[in-house]
Amino acid sequence: MPGLLEGKTALILGIANRWSIAYAIGQAFRREGAELILTYQAERLLKTVQELGSELGASRILQCDVSDDAQIAGLVEKLQGSALHTVVHSIAFAGKDELSKPFVETSRGGFGVALDVSAYSLVAVARAAAPLMTAGGSVLTLSYLGAQRVVQNYNVMGVAKAALESSVRYLAADLGPSQIRVNAISAGPIKTASARGVKDFSKVLEGVAALAPLRRDTDPAEVADTAVFLASDLGRGVTGNVIYVDAGFQIMGLSA
Protein backbone atom coordinates (compact mmCIF):
# COMPACT_ATOMS: atom_id res chain seq x y z
CA MET A 1 0.00 0.00 0.00
CA PRO A 2 1.47 3.43 -0.88
CA GLY A 3 2.27 5.72 2.06
CA LEU A 4 -0.12 8.55 2.89
CA LEU A 5 2.53 11.15 1.99
CA GLU A 6 3.98 9.48 -1.08
CA GLY A 7 5.02 12.11 -3.62
CA LYS A 8 4.88 14.93 -1.07
CA THR A 9 7.77 17.09 0.11
CA ALA A 10 7.77 18.32 3.70
CA LEU A 11 9.80 21.14 5.21
CA ILE A 12 10.25 20.53 8.94
CA LEU A 13 11.49 23.33 11.21
CA GLY A 14 12.26 22.64 14.86
CA ILE A 15 14.31 19.46 15.24
CA ALA A 16 16.82 20.07 18.02
CA ASN A 17 17.43 16.47 19.14
CA ARG A 18 15.83 13.04 19.10
CA TRP A 19 13.30 14.02 21.79
CA SER A 20 11.95 16.92 19.71
CA ILE A 21 8.32 16.56 18.65
CA ALA A 22 9.49 17.58 15.16
CA TYR A 23 11.75 14.50 15.05
CA ALA A 24 8.78 12.22 15.80
CA ILE A 25 6.89 14.00 13.00
CA GLY A 26 9.87 13.44 10.68
CA GLN A 27 9.83 9.72 11.49
CA ALA A 28 6.10 9.42 10.77
CA PHE A 29 6.35 11.48 7.57
CA ARG A 30 9.23 9.30 6.39
CA ARG A 31 7.26 6.13 7.18
CA GLU A 32 4.46 7.49 4.98
CA GLY A 33 6.83 8.16 2.08
CA ALA A 34 7.42 11.93 2.25
CA GLU A 35 10.62 13.56 1.06
CA LEU A 36 12.03 15.53 4.00
CA ILE A 37 13.82 18.88 4.12
CA LEU A 38 14.99 19.78 7.63
CA THR A 39 16.19 23.02 9.13
CA TYR A 40 18.36 23.70 12.15
CA GLN A 41 18.39 26.90 14.18
CA ALA A 42 22.09 27.43 14.67
CA GLU A 43 25.54 25.92 14.18
CA ARG A 44 25.44 24.31 17.65
CA LEU A 45 22.62 22.00 16.44
CA LEU A 46 24.08 21.16 13.02
CA LYS A 47 25.87 17.92 13.95
CA THR A 48 22.85 16.48 15.76
CA VAL A 49 20.39 17.48 13.04
CA GLN A 50 22.74 16.03 10.40
CA GLU A 51 22.82 12.71 12.27
CA LEU A 52 19.05 12.65 12.69
CA GLY A 53 18.57 13.81 9.11
CA SER A 54 20.64 10.93 7.78
CA GLU A 55 18.58 8.47 9.90
CA LEU A 56 15.45 9.99 8.36
CA GLY A 57 16.89 10.00 4.83
CA ALA A 58 16.36 13.77 4.58
CA SER A 59 17.17 15.16 1.15
CA ARG A 60 18.39 18.55 2.45
CA ILE A 61 19.40 20.16 5.74
CA LEU A 62 19.41 23.95 5.79
CA GLN A 63 19.94 26.60 8.45
CA CYS A 64 17.09 28.87 9.46
CA ASP A 65 16.81 30.97 12.59
CA VAL A 66 13.18 32.10 12.32
CA SER A 67 13.82 35.31 14.26
CA ASP A 68 15.88 36.55 11.29
CA ASP A 69 13.96 37.59 8.14
CA ALA A 70 17.13 37.30 6.05
CA GLN A 71 17.54 33.63 7.05
CA ILE A 72 13.91 32.88 6.16
CA ALA A 73 14.42 34.57 2.78
CA GLY A 74 17.70 32.63 2.33
CA LEU A 75 15.93 29.34 3.08
CA VAL A 76 13.24 29.99 0.49
CA GLU A 77 15.87 31.10 -2.01
CA LYS A 78 17.64 27.74 -1.60
CA LEU A 79 14.33 25.93 -2.10
CA GLN A 80 13.43 27.69 -5.36
CA GLY A 81 12.44 25.09 -7.91
CA SER A 82 11.30 22.48 -5.37
CA ALA A 83 7.56 22.16 -4.87
CA LEU A 84 6.60 22.01 -1.20
CA HIS A 85 3.43 20.31 0.06
CA THR A 86 3.81 20.55 3.81
CA VAL A 87 5.48 22.86 6.30
CA VAL A 88 5.83 21.88 9.95
CA HIS A 89 6.59 24.72 12.38
CA SER A 90 7.61 23.16 15.69
CA ILE A 91 9.35 26.09 17.31
CA ALA A 92 8.97 28.11 20.49
CA PHE A 93 11.19 30.13 22.77
CA ALA A 94 10.86 32.22 25.93
CA GLY A 95 13.62 33.29 28.29
CA LYS A 96 13.85 30.94 31.27
CA ASP A 97 13.57 33.87 33.69
CA GLU A 98 10.29 34.93 32.05
CA LEU A 99 8.86 31.45 32.64
CA SER A 100 9.96 31.20 36.23
CA LYS A 101 8.51 34.46 37.55
CA PRO A 102 4.80 35.34 37.89
CA PHE A 103 3.21 36.41 34.59
CA VAL A 104 2.55 39.88 35.96
CA GLU A 105 6.34 40.39 36.14
CA THR A 106 6.84 39.72 32.39
CA SER A 107 9.21 42.28 30.89
CA ARG A 108 8.49 44.15 27.65
CA GLY A 109 11.58 42.60 26.07
CA GLY A 110 10.74 39.05 27.23
CA PHE A 111 7.17 39.39 25.98
CA GLY A 112 8.45 40.56 22.59
CA VAL A 113 10.96 37.73 22.18
CA ALA A 114 8.44 35.02 23.17
CA LEU A 115 5.82 36.32 20.73
CA ASP A 116 8.32 36.93 17.95
CA VAL A 117 9.91 33.48 17.97
CA SER A 118 6.88 31.44 19.01
CA ALA A 119 4.03 33.14 17.09
CA TYR A 120 5.15 35.72 14.52
CA SER A 121 7.60 33.23 13.01
CA LEU A 122 4.66 31.13 11.80
CA VAL A 123 3.35 34.12 9.84
CA ALA A 124 6.77 34.84 8.34
CA VAL A 125 7.44 31.19 7.43
CA ALA A 126 3.95 30.62 5.96
CA ARG A 127 4.22 33.77 3.83
CA ALA A 128 7.66 32.79 2.55
CA ALA A 129 6.76 29.15 1.86
CA ALA A 130 3.34 29.74 0.24
CA PRO A 131 4.71 30.54 -3.26
CA LEU A 132 6.53 27.17 -3.22
CA MET A 133 3.28 25.34 -2.40
CA THR A 134 2.09 25.53 -5.97
CA ALA A 135 -0.31 22.58 -5.65
CA GLY A 136 -1.66 23.77 -2.28
CA GLY A 137 -0.77 21.93 0.91
CA SER A 138 -0.65 22.02 4.65
CA VAL A 139 1.05 24.27 7.20
CA LEU A 140 1.14 22.88 10.71
CA THR A 141 2.25 24.30 14.05
CA LEU A 142 2.37 23.06 17.63
CA SER A 143 0.43 24.64 20.46
CA TYR A 144 -0.41 23.90 24.09
CA LEU A 145 -3.39 24.20 26.42
CA GLY A 146 -1.72 27.19 28.12
CA ALA A 147 -3.03 29.23 25.14
CA GLN A 148 -6.60 28.78 26.38
CA ARG A 149 -6.30 28.29 30.14
CA VAL A 150 -3.98 29.50 32.83
CA VAL A 151 -1.36 26.79 33.31
CA GLN A 152 0.96 27.37 36.23
CA ASN A 153 4.52 28.39 35.21
CA TYR A 154 3.63 28.56 31.48
CA ASN A 155 3.18 32.33 31.73
CA VAL A 156 4.25 34.40 28.70
CA MET A 157 4.43 31.24 26.59
CA GLY A 158 0.67 30.83 27.10
CA VAL A 159 0.10 34.31 25.68
CA ALA A 160 2.42 33.49 22.77
CA LYS A 161 0.49 30.28 22.08
CA ALA A 162 -2.80 32.24 22.13
CA ALA A 163 -1.33 34.54 19.46
CA LEU A 164 -0.13 31.48 17.56
CA GLU A 165 -3.60 29.86 17.57
CA SER A 166 -5.19 33.10 16.41
CA SER A 167 -2.53 33.43 13.70
CA VAL A 168 -3.50 29.93 12.51
CA ARG A 169 -7.06 31.15 11.91
CA TYR A 170 -6.06 34.36 10.10
CA LEU A 171 -3.48 32.52 7.98
CA ALA A 172 -6.03 29.82 7.11
CA ALA A 173 -8.40 32.53 5.87
CA ASP A 174 -5.70 34.26 3.79
CA LEU A 175 -4.10 31.14 2.31
CA GLY A 176 -7.27 29.05 1.85
CA PRO A 177 -7.96 30.39 -1.67
CA SER A 178 -4.51 29.02 -2.64
CA GLN A 179 -5.63 25.63 -1.23
CA ILE A 180 -3.11 25.92 1.59
CA ARG A 181 -4.52 24.66 4.88
CA VAL A 182 -3.19 25.94 8.22
CA ASN A 183 -3.75 24.08 11.48
CA ALA A 184 -2.28 23.57 14.94
CA ILE A 185 -1.95 20.48 17.07
CA SER A 186 -2.32 21.25 20.75
CA ALA A 187 -0.19 18.51 22.27
CA GLY A 188 -0.30 17.27 25.84
CA PRO A 189 2.90 17.77 27.85
CA ILE A 190 5.86 15.75 26.56
CA LYS A 191 9.35 15.58 28.11
CA THR A 192 11.57 17.49 25.66
CA ALA A 193 14.38 20.05 26.00
CA SER A 194 11.91 22.95 25.72
CA ALA A 195 9.61 21.44 28.34
CA ARG A 196 12.50 21.32 30.82
CA GLY A 197 12.37 25.14 30.83
CA VAL A 198 8.96 24.98 32.55
CA LYS A 199 9.30 24.81 36.33
CA ASP A 200 8.02 21.57 37.97
CA PHE A 201 7.37 19.97 34.58
CA SER A 202 7.58 16.40 35.95
CA LYS A 203 4.72 17.25 38.34
CA VAL A 204 2.70 18.42 35.32
CA LEU A 205 3.28 15.05 33.63
CA GLU A 206 2.14 13.17 36.72
CA GLY A 207 -0.94 15.35 37.15
CA VAL A 208 -2.01 14.99 33.54
CA ALA A 209 -1.62 11.21 33.53
CA ALA A 210 -3.76 10.94 36.66
CA LEU A 211 -6.62 13.08 35.33
CA ALA A 212 -6.68 12.57 31.54
CA PRO A 213 -9.50 10.35 30.29
CA LEU A 214 -6.93 7.92 28.81
CA ARG A 215 -5.04 7.93 32.17
CA ARG A 216 -1.66 8.48 30.57
CA ASP A 217 0.56 11.15 29.08
CA THR A 218 0.93 12.01 25.41
CA ASP A 219 3.26 10.01 23.20
CA PRO A 220 5.08 12.11 20.56
CA ALA A 221 4.30 9.36 18.02
CA GLU A 222 0.57 10.02 18.35
CA VAL A 223 1.12 13.75 17.81
CA ALA A 224 3.12 12.76 14.72
CA ASP A 225 0.34 10.53 13.40
CA THR A 226 -2.13 13.43 13.65
CA ALA A 227 0.43 15.53 11.77
CA VAL A 228 0.41 12.85 9.04
CA PHE A 229 -3.39 13.10 8.84
CA LEU A 230 -3.26 16.89 8.53
CA ALA A 231 -0.47 16.80 5.94
CA SER A 232 -2.12 14.09 3.86
CA ASP A 233 -5.13 14.22 1.59
CA LEU A 234 -7.16 12.69 4.43
CA GLY A 235 -7.07 16.12 6.07
CA ARG A 236 -8.12 17.99 2.92
CA GLY A 237 -11.24 19.51 4.48
CA VAL A 238 -9.58 20.70 7.71
CA THR A 239 -8.18 24.21 8.05
CA GLY A 240 -7.99 26.90 10.72
CA ASN A 241 -8.31 24.31 13.48
CA VAL A 242 -6.57 23.46 16.71
CA ILE A 243 -6.68 19.69 17.21
CA TYR A 244 -5.98 18.40 20.71
CA VAL A 245 -3.74 15.36 20.97
CA ASP A 246 -3.51 15.17 24.74
CA ALA A 247 -5.12 11.92 25.94
CA GLY A 248 -8.28 14.02 26.38
CA PHE A 249 -6.93 16.16 29.23
CA GLN A 250 -8.42 19.43 27.95
CA ILE A 251 -12.04 18.30 28.44
CA MET A 252 -11.63 17.78 32.20
CA GLY A 253 -12.80 20.14 34.90
CA LEU A 254 -12.28 19.61 38.63
CA SER A 255 -11.61 16.07 39.78
CA ALA A 256 -13.16 14.71 42.96
Contact residues for ligand 0WD, defined by CB under 6 A? 14, 16, 19-22, 41, 45, 65-67, 90-93, 117, 142-144, 187, 189-190, 192-195
Closest CB 159 distance from ligand 0WD, rounded Å: 13
Catalytic residue among 23, 40, 120, 144: 144
**Which residues lie across from 138 on neighbouring strands?**
86, 181
- Residue 45 Cβ vs ligand 0WD, minimum distance, rounded to whole Å: 6
Q: Closest CB to ligand 0WD among 163 and 190?
A: 190
Q: Cβ closer to ligand 0WD: 54 or 134?
A: 54
Bridge partner residues of 9 (DSSP)? 35
The C-alpha atoms of residue 80 and residue 64 are separated, in whole angstroms, by: 15
CB neighbours (10 Å) of residue 120? 17
CB of 97 to ligand 0WD, least distance (A): 15
Q: Are 230 and 239 in contact (CB under 8 A)?
A: no
154 is catalytic: yes
Q: Is 144 a catalytic residue?
A: yes
CB 149, min distance to ligand 0WD, A? 13
Marked catalytic residue, from 40, 154, 170, 244: 154
The minimum distance between CB 233 and ligand 0WD, in angstroms, equals: 25
Nearer CB in complex with ligand 0WD: 134/202 = 202
Q: Is the Cβ of residue 16 or residue 182 nearer to ligand 0WD in the bound state? A: 16
- DSSP-assigned letters across all residues of the chain: ---TTTT-EEEEE---STTSHHHHHHHHHHHTT-EEEEEESSHHHHHHHHHHHHHHT-SEEEE--TT-HHHHHHHHHHHTTPPP-EEEE------HHHHHS-GGG--HHHHHHHHIIIIIHHHHHHHHHGGG-TT-EEEEEEE-GGGTS--TTTTHHHHHHHHHHHHHHHHHHHHGGGTEEEEEEEEPP---TTGGGSTTHHHHHHHHHHHSTTSS---HHHHHHHHHHHHSGGGTT--S-EEEESTTGGG-----
Rank residues 195 and 209 by Cβ distance to ligand 0WD and give the closer one: 195
Active-site positions read 144, 154
